[in-house]
Chains A and B, each alone.
Chain A
Amino acid sequence: RKEVEQDPGPFNVPEGATVAFNCTYSNSASQSFFWYRQDCRKEPKLLMSVYSSGNEDGRFTAQLNRASQYISLLIRDSKLSDSATYLCVVSNQAGTALIFGKGTTLSVSS
């Protein structure tokens, strides 16, 4: 089982749609979880950290299920500017490295 797995997509959605990304991770001892966004081979940027209680930031909602080792990201009311690759990221057990999924590509069209 790969360390962090994501559906690569692409997800092609119209503006205003709701889209959900899923991610699974293999190391049950991981302590930190994130979603990063990457545009056109530019540097990844933190979208949001993911906490056990779930967290929301505007149109974005992240959920963590430690028992199932599953992370999700929900984007409501998609905008053209949301088009990017979304990276699911998990820390290693020691906290010395981030393990990246290969990313899910989102394309929002008008």
Chain B
Amino acid sequence: EAQVTQNPRYLITVTGKKLTVTCSQNMNHEYMSWYRQDPGLGLRQIYYSMNVEVTDKGDVPEGYKVSRKEKRNFPLILESPSPNQTSLYFCASSLGTSSYNEQFFGPGTRLTVL
């Protein structure tokens, strides 16, 4: 089954404790992206990757890191999480970025930073 998977789905952590949210897709997609969704603010892009070893900042990259060492994986790293990073996170992938390329989203990771 074609899908985007994220782990963990739920995480409660404390300020400053490094964490990684994994994202993997099995559709051989070149483009991958991370979004966060907050009440009243909608979905906002954190980082994206056009291909292996090619990553760039989105609208809200502060406090996050990413890597793209393999085509299928795009982990999101929070080196020192803070309470303002409490949010619902979605990973997405697509073949490319044209209007014909649907973005497929993972099921989401609900993160709480205490």
Contacts and interface: CB of A to CB of B under 8 A. Distances in A.
| Interface size grouping (class) on chain B | 20 to 34
Main secondary structure of the interface of A (DSSP, over half): loop
Contact of B99 (A32, A87, A97): A32
Nearest to B58: A97
A76 interface: no
Interface residues of A, number: 22
A54 to B, nearest CB: 14
Interface of A: 31-34, 41-46, 49, 51, 87, 91, 95-98, 100-103
19 contacts: A32-B98, A32-B99, A33-B99, A41-B88, A41-B108, A43-B107, A43-B108, A44-B90, A44-B105, A51-B99, A95-B97, A96-B50, A96-B56, A96-B97, A97-B59, A98-B33, A98-B45, A100-B42, A102-B41
